[in-house]
Structure 1
Amino acid sequence: MDIQSRKLAFIQAFLNLQSEEIIGQFEKLMKKAKNMDEENQFKPFSKEEMNERISRSEDDFNNKKFKTTSELLLKYER
């Protein structure tokens, strides 16, 4: 069954529901799914944000605030 057929079958079943409780649960599920979708959307950095991140990273490196590859590998090998 393709996605369009599944959607139509779902809509038909939904329209036949009589329970307000079940409809409320579907509404909550849809709201949660929409929020998750919005959170997972990729939002590119602006030039200003990118430059700020670069500056912070360079400052961290100059102040020895970093971990080497070896340190990271040791941490995750355990």
Structure 2
Amino acid sequence: MDLQQSKIALAKLILDIDSQELIDKILRVVQQDSPDFWDSLSEAEKEEIALGIKQLDQGKGVPLQKVLKDIS
């Protein structure tokens, strides 16, 4: 069975599950196996994000509509 067929078979099995507890367990397994995007960022990118969060916490955010207007 190739990858695509395996995914389809798995999806069919999941759709037939009636247990919320089992669905939650499957979600935890899948989420644990998925890489966290944060780990793929450079230190400079992480610092920029931290700075942006700090500025937002200080009320220095810019409304989305203003940003969109400025870039168009």
State TM-score, norm by structure 2.
Answer: 0.48
TM-score by length of structure 1 reads 0.45
Higher relative contact order structure (alpha carbons within 8 Å, sequence separation ≥ 6): 2
Q: Which has the larger radius of gyration?
A: 1
